[in-house]
Structure 1
Amino acid sequence: MSAEFQAPRGIPDYFPPASADFRRVRDTLTDAARRAGYGHIELPIFEDTGLFARGVGESTDVVSKEMYTFADRGERSVTLRPEGTAGVMRAVIQHGLDRGQLPVKLCYAGPFFRYEKPQEGRYRQLQQVGVEAIGVDDPALDAEVIAIADEGYRRLGLSGFRLEITSLGDDESRPRYREALQQFLFGLDLDEPTRKRAEINPLRVLDDKRPEVKEATADAPLLLDYLSDAARGHFDIVLGHLTRLGVPYEINPRLVRGLDYYTKTTFEFVHDGLGAQAGIGGGGRYDGLMRQIGGKQDLSGIGFGIGVDRTILAMRAEGVADADAARCQVFGVPMGAAAKAELVGLAGRLRAAGISVDLAYGDRGLKGAMKAADRSGARLALVLGDRELDEQTIEVKDLSNGAQRKVSLSTVVDDVVGVLTQ
């Protein structure tokens, strides 16, 4: 066995310079939610296993095959969170947020855990950004949630994605469709596990990724043909609002999400540059989830989860990733101990003014220090030696074009801020 430790299989590390894309995706998506009035919520990494079994659905692959579940020291069964919606709903119930102003609009970001075969952009520790709007069954809210995701993607520079959307119906639509779908499925030559799944939750069969099952179910009845008048009306209004918001969409009547709590509006963002694993985010409405996990009220909700890793892959496919992003704007190059002491103080003043600054640490010569400045991605290098100290000046070099000039030490902060903010 190797004496060196490595990260567990399927658990990625994020480090510079590629981690710049990670931060950019996370911050851009959460900022889009913040501008729509969504407040931040920080969720526990693990929860009572029953929360996910009841909320997500015991017939789903997530619960039946993919959860990291273990007994803690008190012999309680706990599970590393596989998704965010159930945890958010639990927090809303526990802390009485549903008794305040509605809708409760929350945003979160962080790691989630599913035991599945690792592959590029799909890990056992996956990173997501999510939003949830709980307490109001309003088609305009559905459209707002979808538009937040669309805006976030576009602010990241993505254009080669599309929104697929459908309706999974309501309490009136689903029983009629379930009966028709089961009648169709039981007429197929299904293996025993798939037949059992058809008995428990037939929609799960339509989510089966095996080619032979997809081919066998190609002519299955469509839920859109079984919508109640209320569900049809809700869906039509959502589509109208998306048009007003300038969000293009494609209706995909065969779209099925992998979690049991979805009802009515259901959607997925797809990027064809990623091959078979094309989904980069999605979500939907989950009327009834609050009741399933023990809430005294039965408030509706709508939300999404966006995969940070999948989004980064989409950015790379379009050439809009920024893995070589600069780690600082200014790089200080001191020539001697006295110059370093002066630059340490100057770096502090520049950082206080909102400028990111790094220095050449150690006893590097001028040539080595300037190579480090180039590698840092900084726009400006500040070069200070004994001669400049005597003159109370500093050399300011623009690394983008090589232009160099002397600036007074007393005014260099204002000078640099002016150059970098103009």
Structure 2
Amino acid sequence: MNVFSGQRFAVVGLGRAGLPAAERLREFGAEVFVWDDSAPSREAAKAFAVTRPSEVTGRLDGVVLSPGIPHILPKPHPEAVWAAAHGVPVLTDAELLYRAVRGLGSKARFAGITGTNGKSTTTALLAHILNVAGVPNAAGANLGPAALSLPILPDEGVYVLEMSSYMLERIVTLRFDTAVMLNLSPDHLDRHGDMAGYAAAKRAIFARQDESCTAVVGVDDAPSREMAAWLDTQPAKVVRISGVGQATGAKALPGEHNAQNAAAAAAMARALGVSEAAIAEGIATFPGLAHRAQEVALREGVRFINDSKATNADAASRAMACHERFVWIAGGVAKAGGIDDLTSFFPRVEKAFLIGRDGEAFAAKLSQHGVANEYVGTLEAALPKAFSAAKGGAGIVLFSPAAASFDQFPNFEVRGDVFAKLAREVAA
């Protein structure tokens, strides 16, 4: 298993992906150095050589930089600046997983999923379909386990990797046998500069594909259609997918957005040789994902829906489109444009309760459109008020924040867990 014997890597950022990456690199025979700007994180990694990459004596074969740490925009981390100046590649752990798998002689295939929204559902759904079909697989990367912590699969196995734009900027040799770009709407523009930079990062999921590969692309938005046109000039087989006017019929996959996710997973599964029967069974039996339009409580006819994964307006629109009338809880750290793109859904909002840093800005926008609303600040304050409002009519409390969580919570998962706990307490 010493596939990286004689190679030296530095891992910067020792969070969910960083420390497992360091451990696996060492298991694979590499000499590993680690660094984190947080002293407690460095203390937790004291089994390794803790030092900045710039202070390592001798060469480095790569710096594995946590996806959340910028290497170009908006301001590169000092160690990324050092790496660029010294010709040391900045990598993602998915790249090193690919090198390890190929270095150990496995012909396992790689399936990559990206897009502004729907990545996690599509990733989990494809893995579920493969399980139904009896295909050995391992799913992870941006969703679930860190890529480099996944097991080495046999030749018939499939790696199902959710790839963020941050990760796609840092692949060098990784080639996906089948890959999908689901949709594109403004997100992470501080990191990529503008929409062109964001689209370029997403397009990297199709890099190095040849005639044996399949490129799946959503065509329900203009930037994605532009990417589809570009793909027509590339060697891979191109499959266009759409969710418009479609429905899966599966309880865990409501709405046109999930119809697109299912179409993507089905197209990728076909490219991997899965039968139509297994695809249909997989879609029908998919249990869904936490924090994605997830019903977490029911009381006095009121359904509480946890859609904490909706960290931008486009993601929130997918959940809002599934309900004719609802009480809305939203707010947090808004992305560019805030909730401007959600105005067509405002007539469905019986009343909105706003939280977080940009909740007051959301309230102002809603008031401009005559939507009843109240800025309450926190989820703890919002839940009882929302329950009371929903009992009077809508029957649904939809928590689809349309904003990031970092003002009040470590991540959207913790935010969703808090909502679910509060919903169950209110509904008790």
**TM exceeding 0.5:** no
Larger radius of gyration: 1
Bigger RCO of structures 1 and 2 (CA < 8 A, at least 6 apart): 1
TM-score, length of structure 2 as denominator length: 0.26
TM-score, length of structure 1 as denominator length: 0.26
